Amino acid sequence: MELLNNNIIFNTIDNGIMILDENLNIKAWNKWLEVKTGIKSDEIVNHCICERFPYIEQKKLVRKIKSVLITKNASFFSVEPHEYLIKIKSNIIMGKVFKYMRQDITLVPYDLERRLVCLYIYDHTKLHESSEKLKKLNEELKDLSSKDHLTQLYNRRYFGEAAATMQSLSVRNNHHISIIILDVDNFKHINDNYGHSIGDKVIVSLSRILENNCRKSDIVARWGGEEFVILLYNTTLGYAQSVAENIRKNVEDFYVEVKEDKLKFTISLGVSEFEPEIDKDLECTISRADKGLYTAKANGKNMVVVN
């Protein structure tokens, strides 16, 4: 392979090229690979690729080479889950997402009599970078459309969509759904006396308390202003009432620091369970929970009312 190693095209093409025999011994190693890996051709030729790079799946590569030699056709070689065949540090300076070069690998027959294949390594890091950035942007856009900006809880629109799906699942699987609706007692007094920035701090603090007292399967949303709603899937009314009571106690024990002062606040909560016999949909359940909330307000606040 000495002639090939000195070939101008072989050594100036802008991707990695190596020649392998069916036993995975490297027979040629081009200049691109020398530059990218820091390994000279005379240091690696006639060595087994899997001995030099032990993270390569040897059995998989052997099967692929034999397949290429038998079919006499080019074939793509999957490098999942690492997305590279040979670990090469990414040289993208700006906006680096990946530590190592993302590669596409193609195997083609080279010399059938000598049982040799040509392996091409294409640097597709920029393409993967763009794809990853687009994916992240789409996730951010999805968050913007489904989450409340201040609290990072789900917003009312998303809650409505998720509730409709949960309702269908509960009817089909005969599972319970319970709703908790709550708001901050005397919130206008907090805003008037401490300012809207402290009011926002109360709202955000309450949001974290709600998250900490709910399961990942529950849907916690900001309903509007100082009002919040929680959907508890596969949850009976009794359990939902105990969750609501735990939330109430946690809020009662909590305070927001305001300069030298400790601002304490309370919440009132209404709880209802979806009942297909009387509720046309979850909107009806939410309405019943809301009536429980207003009963709590009317009876002195800082309490849970089941309706």
C-beta separation of 99 from 2 below 8 A: no
Residue predicted with more confidence, 16 or 6: 16
In a domain? residue 31:
yes
In this predicted structure, the answer to whether residue 116 has a pLDDT above a threshold of 70 is: yes
Nearest to 300 by CA among 202, 185, 193, 187: 185
Answer yes or no: do 82 and 110 share one domain: yes
* Section 64-91 average pLDDT: 91
Residue predicted with more confidence, 261 or 151: 151
Answer yes or no: do 52 and 167 share one domain: no
**Residue 49 CB coordination number (10 Å):** 21
In a domain? residue 139:
no
Sheet of strand 177-184, all strands in order from the earlier edge strand to the far edge:
219-224, 227-233, 177-184, 267-273, 304-306
How does 59-70 read in b/e, with b if 16+ C-beta sit within 10 Å? eebeebbeebbe
What's residue 173's pLDDT? 84
- State the amino acid at position 130 in one-letter form: S
Tally helices (H) and strands (E) across the chain.
Answer: 12, 12
Confidence of residue 56 (pLDDT cuts 50, 70, 90): very high
Choose, from 43, 129, 226, 245, the residue flagged as catalytic: 226
Q: Which two tokens stand for residue 235?
A: 């949850």
User: Parallel, antiparallel, or unpaired: how do β-strands 267-273 and 304-306 relate?
Assistant: parallel
From 101, 130, 159, give the residue that closes a domain: 130
Answer yes or no: do 282 and 155 share one domain: yes
234-269 residue pLDDT tens: 999 999 999 999 999 999 999 999 988 899 999 999
Answer yes or no: do 162 and 200 share one domain: yes
Confidence of residue 291 (pLDDT cuts 50, 70, 90): very high
155-202 residue pLDDT tens: 999 899 889 988 988 888 888 999 999 999 999 999 999 999 999 999
Nearest to 181 by CA among 291, 23, 37: 291
Lowest-pLDDT range of 6-10, 123-127, 196-200, 218-222: 6-10
In this predicted structure, the answer to whether residue 2 has a pLDDT above a threshold of 80 is: no
Q: How many domains does the chain have?
A: 2
Distance CA 87, CA 36 (A): 10
Answer yes or no: do 206 and 112 share one domain: no
Answer yes or no: do 226 and 190 share one domain: yes
In this predicted structure, the answer to whether residue 3 has a pLDDT above a threshold of 60 is: no
Residue predicted with more confidence, 12 or 290: 290
In a domain? residue 137:
no
Answer yes or no: do 80 and 171 share one domain: no
Answer yes or no: do 151 and 274 share one domain: yes
- This model's pTM is above 0.75: no
Nearest to 32 by CA among 24, 44, 41: 41
Report the CATH number that the domain containing residue 84 is assigned in CATH.
3.30.450.20
What's residue 261's pLDDT? 87
What's residue 115's pLDDT? 95
From 130, 165, 195, give the residue that closes a domain: 130
Q: Is residue 226 annotated as part of the catalytic site, yes or no?
A: yes
In a domain? residue 109:
yes
From 130, 157, 172, give the residue that closes a domain: 130
- Dihedral angle sign, alpha carbons of residues 161, 162, 163, 167: positive
* Section 5-26 average pLDDT: 87
* Section 43-66 average pLDDT: 95
In a domain? residue 135:
no
Residue predicted with more confidence, 81 or 229: 229
**Structural domain of residue 220, as residue ranges?**
147-306
